[in-house]
Structure 1
Amino acid sequence: MSFKKVLLLALTLVLIVSTVTGQKTIVLRLAETHPADYPTTLGDQRFADLVKERSKGRIVIEVYPGSQLGQEKAVIEQVQFGAIDFTRVSISPLASFVPVFNALQLPYLYRNEDHMWKVLLGPIGKELFASLEPSGFIGIGWFEPGARNFYNSKRPVSKPEDLKGLKIRVQESELMVGMVQGLGAVATPMPYGEVYSALQTGVIDGAENNWPSYESTSHYEVAKFYTLDEHTRVPEIIIGSKISLSKLSAKDLELIKQAALDAIPYQRKLWAEREKASEAKVRAAGNTITVITDKGPWQAAMKALYDKQPAAVRYLVQRISEVK
């Protein structure tokens, strides 16, 4: 996209139109990569509905699912420039803009889901939101990401040694490559859309993702060994454009942030329901599910990856470990 086009979009970013009654309506756009029926997208819509309701129709947030406004990295850039008002993204692409967010995607970081939410909704979460502002973003809210687990087409995996030599697809992320290599597998970065055929043809032996993604992509049909190691919980985040939202009053911005906070229980409920349905479908297909109860050996294998992180990330990891 040319600079002129970006600038033009920025100038029209907060669209203000007059209603029949003469009241001004502020229309804001939210970019979402997931389809319309996905739990995060439905969470976006609940957030938008709460904003509209509480502002009595004065602020309207339009949700654009299915990557209509672009893929995650491109959308983040447009939010930064003010061409898009909000986006819901994973922490992974955001960390390339604000590196301290890498701490949140380190493997075996959280004890469980509750631990993660205490971190996100506590002082650390507020500090992370504040760290976004120098890069042109405003932290708006968090959504449940689910736990990511390994799956493969070769054998059950109950300990790190069982992964040795397996070719595991990962996101194009240095952290994810380091995690898989630390466990003795062969990290294979690959676009997500190519994973099914790569599993089917043996180009890769496995991948990693949460229950809904494992099931909805039909990866469970060609990689029948699923290991519940819960290696990462990479939070979903709604960020806003500092350029866009600076046009709003402090009161309106607070209304928006509170609406995002109040949308969390709804999204988490939908996510839990989706996880259960996906797990039931996979188990009914006869897949082998291995539950990891002792994560000690898995965590120990990550020491080198943790040690190479910048001091700011290591400090944040230490603080996260101390959250009770």
Structure 2
Amino acid sequence: MNGRRGFLAGLAAACAAGALPAARADAGARVLTASDVHVKDYPTVEAVRWIGQQLERETGGRLRLRLYHSGQLGRESEAIDMARYGAIDITRVYAGALNNAFPLTRALCLPYVFDSVPHLRRALDGEVGARVLRGFEARDLVGLAIYDCGARCFYNTRRPLRTPADLHGLKFRVPGSDIFIRLLRLFGANPTPLSYGEVFSALETRLIDGAENNLRSFHSSRQFEVARHWSQSEHSYAPDVLLVSRKSYDALRADDRALLRELARRSVAVMRALWDASEQEAGAAVRAAGVHMNEVDMAAFRRAAQPLLDEYLRQPEIDALYRKIRALA
């Protein structure tokens, strides 16, 4: 299904489900619709569910949230468009899916920009995160929060990967982001853009040899059942972003807008607590399932990725954010 047809299909699904911004559960109650491609107990899904519970409690039921998880309303790229057009209200999407349309998100996705999760969180909680969130205002969206989601690493069906040379000739799924496509080419792999929901079957049928993602997603998607080699490359700490449709946001009362922003801010701590616990559980589970996990030659991967980083740092806005990020290392 191409992008245009996919968007229309998702829009039709949203309308059929009563998921328009004006949807009402009963007289006087407004229902905001939220989407996520992850499963029902994933930390980002739980964090948005928490926002909905607090909204309903704080407004006495006047504002409610209907949450569609597991990609029920389509792919992330389709959810972004549906939010921009006001067909859904809130969506949680991976920053890589935003790179091409929202340039400031590229600073968060570039290779080896962050050294660790604490480093990432310091940046997201400060001026860097605030600047990226403001960048959505130009294209019919409002940035509510940034959810960090650990280190992205490589996994595949063939062999351990210790240096970039080990990726040569392998077909790897990447998100629809120029950064990830070009990074995999620098590593010698053949990048294959696919939506998140297509990865398991692509691995199973050998359409691709591997992919890259965080450990929690590797486990919750059950991709570890077919990709038995995990390599701790930590090549990106690209986070997730929680967005609300500008049309939906502007339709709220001023006090409701302030409440939604405050709850989104507080939901970051909810998500992180769930994330930290579930990531440890995911690691133990995939090891128990027999997945081979290995360290990599980090210096070799950094050297191979440097030309891509150098190119993006020629963009003044990206360079400015990069400098702020590195100052927090």
TM-score by length of 2: 0.85
- The aligned counterpart of 1:259 is 263
Measured at CA, do residues 68 and 216 of structure 1 come closer, stay the same or move farther in structure 2, by a change above 3 Å?
Answer: closer
The letter of the residue matching 2:320 is Y
- The aligned counterpart of 1:178 is 182
- The aligned counterpart of 1:307 is 310
CA contact (8 A) 2:100 2:177 kept: no
The 3-state SS of whatever aligns with 1:301 is helix
Measured at CA, do residues 217 and 80 of structure 1 come closer, stay the same or move farther in structure 2, by a change above 3 Å?
Answer: closer
1:106 matched to 2:110? The reply is yes
- The aligned counterpart of 2:4 is none
Measured at CA, do residues 44 and 314 of structure 1 come closer, stay the same or move farther in structure 2, by a change above 3 Å?
Answer: same
- Distance (Å, rounded) in 1 between the aligned partners of 2:321 and 2:249: 28
The 3-state SS of whatever aligns with 1:130 is helix
- Distance (Å, rounded) in 2 between the aligned partners of 1:218 and 1:35: 11
- Distance (Å, rounded) in 1 between the aligned partners of 2:166 and 2:301: 11
Measured at CA, do residues 122 and 160 of structure 1 come closer, stay the same or move farther in structure 2, by a change above 3 Å?
Answer: same
- Aligned-residue identity in percent: 32
The 3-state SS of whatever aligns with 1:308 is helix
- The aligned counterpart of 1:234 is 238
- Distance (Å, rounded) in 1 between the aligned partners of 2:206 and 2:40: 32
- Distance (Å, rounded) in 2 between the aligned partners of 1:97 and 1:236: 15
Cα displacement string for residues 193-238 of structure 1 (whole angstroms, at most 9, x for unaligned residues): 5544544454433221222332334432333221112111221111
- The aligned counterpart of 2:3 is none
1:123 matched to 2:131? The reply is no
Matches within 5 A, 1:184-263: 184-200=188-204, 202-263=206-267
- Distance (Å, rounded) in 2 between the aligned partners of 1:182 and 1:206: 16
CA contact (8 A) 2:39 2:220 kept: no
TM-score by length of 1: 0.87
CA contact (8 A) 2:37 2:76 kept: yes
The letter of the residue matching 2:264 is A
The letter of the residue matching 1:295 is M
The letter of the residue matching 2:127 is P
Measured at CA, do residues 17 and 212 of structure 1 come closer, stay the same or move farther in structure 2, by a change above 3 Å?
Answer: closer
- The aligned counterpart of 2:167 is 163
CA contact (8 A) 2:215 2:283 kept: yes
Q: What is the root-mean-square deviation in Å for CA atoms of aligned residues? A: 2.9
- Distance (Å, rounded) in 1 between the aligned partners of 2:139 and 2:197: 30
CA contact (8 A) 2:172 2:210 kept: yes
The 3-state SS of whatever aligns with 1:109 is coil
- The aligned counterpart of 2:21 is 13
Measured at CA, do residues 259 and 212 of structure 1 come closer, stay the same or move farther in structure 2, by a change above 3 Å?
Answer: same
CA contact (8 A) 1:158 1:290 kept: yes
The 3-state SS of whatever aligns with 2:29 is strand
Matches within 5 A, 1:129-168: 129-168=133-172
The 3-state SS of whatever aligns with 2:183 is helix
Pick from 279, 299, 305 the counterpart of residue 283 of structure 2.
279
The letter of the residue matching 1:161 is A
The letter of the residue matching 2:130 is K
The 3-state SS of whatever aligns with 1:246 is helix
The letter of the residue matching 2:301 is W
In the TM superposition, residue 51 of structure 1 has moved relative to its aligned partner by: 1.8
Q: Gaps (5+ residues) in structure 2?
A: 1-7
CA contact (8 A) 1:306 1:314 kept: no
Cα displacement string for residues 11-50 of structure 1 (whole angstroms, at most 9, x for unaligned residues): x62446875xxxx433221122222222211111011112
1:298 matched to 2:301? The reply is yes
1:36 matched to 2:44? The reply is no
In the TM superposition, residue 176 of structure 1 has moved relative to its aligned partner by: 0.9
In the TM superposition, residue 140 of structure 1 has moved relative to its aligned partner by: 1.0
- Distance (Å, rounded) in 2 between the aligned partners of 1:243 and 1:195: 33
In the TM superposition, residue 280 of structure 1 has moved relative to its aligned partner by: 1.2
CA contact (8 A) 2:147 2:241 kept: yes
The 3-state SS of whatever aligns with 1:283 is helix
CA contact (8 A) 1:132 1:139 kept: yes
Measured at CA, do residues 34 and 191 of structure 1 come closer, stay the same or move farther in structure 2, by a change above 3 Å?
Answer: closer
CA contact (8 A) 1:46 1:263 kept: yes
The letter of the residue matching 1:50 is Q
- Distance (Å, rounded) in 1 between the aligned partners of 2:170 and 2:23: 51
CA contact (8 A) 2:187 2:304 kept: yes
Decide which moves more: 303-312 or 133-142.
303-312
CA contact (8 A) 2:99 2:177 kept: no
In the TM superposition, residue 268 of structure 1 has moved relative to its aligned partner by: 1.6
In the TM superposition, residue 81 of structure 1 has moved relative to its aligned partner by: 1.9
